[in-house]
Amino acid sequence: MTRRWLQEMLYLGLLLIMALVAGWFLGHVDRWLFIAIAIYLAWHIFNLYRLERWLGHNRGLNIPRTIGIWDDIFNNCYQLRKRERERKWRLVQLLREIRDSTAAMPDGMVILDRVGEIRWLNEAAGRLLHLRVPQDVGQRLANLMRHPDFVPYLNSNRYDEPISLVSPFSRGLYLNLGIVPYGSDQRLLLVRDTTRLHRLEAMRSEFVANASHELRSPLTVMRGYLDAMREDGRLRQMWGKPLDEMHHQTARMTAIVGDLLELSRLETELRQAPYAPIDVAKLVRGIRDEALSLGQGPASILLKVDSDLFLLGAEHEIYSAFSNLVFNAMKYTPVEGSVTVTWARESEGACFMVADTGIGIPATHIPRLTERFYRVDKSRHRDSGGTGLGLAIVKHVLQHHGAILAIDSEPGHGSRFSCRFPQERVSRTADHVGTA
Amino acid sequence: MDKLNLTHHISQKFNEELESIRNRVLAMGGLVEQQIADALRALTEGDSELGRSIEQQDYKVNQMEVAIDEECSRILARRQPAASDLRLILAIIKTITDLERIGDEAEKIGRLAARLAGAERPNDRYVALQHLGSHVQGMVHDALDAFARMDAEAAVQVAREDARVDDEYEALSRQSITFMMEDPHSIRQVLDVMWSARALERIGDHATNICEYVVYLVQGKDVRHAGFEAMEREVNERP
């Protein structure tokens, strides 16, 4: 670059010398100097004009060729423009590839901004969520995807778990939606079509249910004969104890089959439980009577139940869950101990609690208690009966009602099982007397 | 498609207020859509618990109507909107009334479903009802989508469906009368089925109303009570 400038200086110098020489021979040096400088200036102005035309009005790559420093400048401009074009072309190619790959993705992706407006979505999202590209860009997603489970999820800002729901416009289409926050206040919504998964789950559950149903009939037959045999005096003399044990085990099998059926039904039910009013006080009294007739545990159960407080949910599910908790308490509490059932309002919602002074549960077992067939002490439970599925049922029922199970226990002192229901599942008698 | 320009306000806050109230109306719409879906499910599956739970949920719909109404009054008093903003608020006030009525009709269906759950359920009685039900469900969904997208043409399409819904309802009524004549013991149940069909037909009417508000909102033309042909004409000859 410096070379060019030196060259330019040289040209200028030569021009001036020529002017001086001309002036020396022909007189009027200043006039000749003036002409030389004028020529030099005109040369630059001309090239400036060409540069301006090319930059401003010519989008092409062909630039004028010239001599001296202007050639350098023109060349540099050309290079600049050429590089810019190449960069743009590369970016367009990259964008095209990204667009093609997102169009091919089976999962839907929607980019949402801070207020929940759609910034971008791919084809799969349009298909799964019934959105139109590009018209719906800029719309708030909650305006078009109005499902009452989705809108609070979107606004909650708690996205650790995705939610599953049935598509509001295509029945039979099951969707799983998860949100991933990123950047500064942006959110990425991922939509998966889980219809096939759901169908597989349903098939599995149906299989369990069918198998259980099939097992019921043979069990009923056996129970029938066993009952008859136990009545018979002669048989009782010789085979009394074995008959009793067979009766006990058959009863256990029947209970397990019943629980399996219940559990498989609960697992496939995606939707939350309905909001039918349940008289909890009455329910609990029924459970207490049944629990006392079991023949295990303390002779009486203390009830601290708010009879004015109703639960909104599915009655038979709640009956299952609550009775499981109470029967468990009775099973693991000695006759001298006590079992207390509480149903009361809390600051937000209500709590159903079963507290006992039984054998307690070591802390290491507590996280796994609600697993199916999980046993804390394997040897003991075979004697005391129980299906091993009770707490799994409780867990699913509570999930259906938006409730949480909390377990507190001290080995040797007792345990406390609490079910916390949200505000919307709770009501006072007065609220719905009119709609009965 | 005429799109309302909500971005020209000097006050960004006003913009947000309008957008937020639109959101709330659509959230209410979503809840009402769910109520309709639950009511239909309770009816066809004979789920009395679900039927009773719809009654419980209706109070939420009513609460939302009152809250949105209050917010609209506040906006009218404080911001004194004009032109398209004023049309938006007026359309919203009318829409929430229709949505709340749809909620009431769904609650009625829920109650009837709870009653019908115990009775006999011959298949042919419910097929026509199911069909009418999904038709009406589609209308409500499309009407709300048209509101969300401010799409007058889509609104006209939905309004066109109402005539078909009315025809289906007529056919169902005739069929019900035949059932009642054939088997007088079934009169109580068939009447309940007819009331459910009537409730569905009313839901269709309310959905059509919402479409009329959408047209008013987007184009400033009042097409209520003018009949469907007039509505279509008005929308197609745009200024």
- Other CB atoms within 10 A of residue A383 CB: 8
pLDDT of residue A177: 93
A265 touches chain B (CB under 8 A): no
The secondary structure of residue A170, as a DSSP letter, is S
The token pair at A386 is 């129980």
Distance CA A355, CA A36 (A): 110
Q: Is the pLDDT of residue A81 over 80?
A: yes
Distance CA B5, CA B133 (A): 36
A143 touches chain B (CB under 8 A): yes
Q: Over range B68-88, report the average pLDDT.
A: 90
User: Which amino acid is present at A9?
Assistant: M
Closest CA to A141 of A174, A113, A162: A113
Q: Is the pLDDT of residue B55 over 50?
A: yes
Of B22, B37, B49, the CB nearest to A276: B49
Is residue B190 one of the residues assigned to a domain?
Answer: yes
Strand (E) or helix (H) holding B228: helix B228-236
- C-beta atoms of B149 and A142 within 8 A: no
Is residue B6 one of the residues assigned to a domain?
Answer: no
- C-beta atoms of B23 and A312 within 8 A: no
Residue percentage of chain A with pLDDT more than 90: 30
pLDDT of residue A370: 84
Q: Is the pLDDT of residue B7 over 70?
A: no
Given a contact cutoff of 8 angstroms between Cβ atoms, the answer to whether B149 and B38 are in contact is no
Of A142, A277, A432, the CB nearest to B26: A142
Q: Over range A381-399, report the average pLDDT.
A: 80
Distance CA A352, CA A46 (A): 93
Strands A301-305 and A309-313: unpaired
A148 touches chain B (CB under 8 A): yes
Length of chain A: 436
Give CA separation, B69 vs A150, B83, B92, in Å: 24, 19, 9
- Other CB atoms within 10 A of residue A172 CB: 9
Confidence of residue B1 (pLDDT cuts 50, 70, 90): very low
- Other CB atoms within 10 A of residue A303 CB: 16
Q: Over range A119-126, report the average pLDDT.
A: 90
Chain B CB contacts of A140 below 8 Å:
19, 23
Chain B CB contacts of A276 below 8 Å:
49-50, 52-53, 56
pLDDT digits 0-9 by tens, A340-376: 999 999 888 999 999 999 888 888 888 888 888 887 7
Confidence of residue A118 (pLDDT cuts 50, 70, 90): very high
Query: Which CATH number do you get for residue B63?
Result: 1.20.58.220
Q: How far is B24 from chain A (nearest CA, A)?
A: 9
Local structure of A14: helix, strand or coil: helix
Is residue B125 one of the residues assigned to a domain?
Answer: yes
B56 touches chain A (CB under 8 A): yes
Q: How many domains does chain B have?
A: 1
Distance CA B22, CA B19 (A): 5
CA angle B158, B17, A137 (to 5 degrees): 55
Q: How far apart are the first and last CA of chain B?
A: 12
Is residue B4 one of the residues assigned to a domain?
Answer: no
Q: Is the pLDDT of residue B106 over 90?
A: yes
B2 touches chain A (CB under 8 A): no
Given a contact cutoff of 8 angstroms between Cβ atoms, the answer to whether A64 and A50 are in contact is yes
Q: Is the pLDDT of residue B71 over 60?
A: yes
Q: How many CA atoms lie within 13 A of A24 on its CB side?
A: 6
B34 touches chain A (CB under 8 A): yes
The secondary structure of residue A295, as a DSSP letter, is S
Is residue B174 one of the residues assigned to a domain?
Answer: yes
What's the pTM?
0.74
Interface with chain A: mutation pick from B17, B45, B49, highest number of A CBs within 10 Å: B49
Domains observed in chain A: 2-100 (no CATH), 105-193 (3.30.450.20), 196-270 (1.10.287.130), 273-435 (3.30.565.10)
Give residue B59's domain range: 12-236
Strand (E) or helix (H) holding A408: strand A404-410
Q: Is the pLDDT of residue A63 over 80?
A: no
Local structure of A175: helix, strand or coil: strand
Local structure of A237: helix, strand or coil: helix
How many beta-carbon contacts under 8 Å exist across A and B? 68
Is residue B207 one of the residues assigned to a domain?
Answer: yes
Interface with chain B: mutation pick from A141, A146, A428, highest number of B CBs within 10 Å: A146
Given a contact cutoff of 8 angstroms between Cβ atoms, the answer to whether B95 and B213 are in contact is yes
Is residue B7 one of the residues assigned to a domain?
Answer: no
Q: Over range A188-198, report the average pLDDT.
A: 92
Cα dihedral sign, B133-B136-B140-B146: positive
Q: Is the pLDDT of residue B183 over 90?
A: no
Q: How far is A151 from chain B (nearest CA, A)?
A: 7
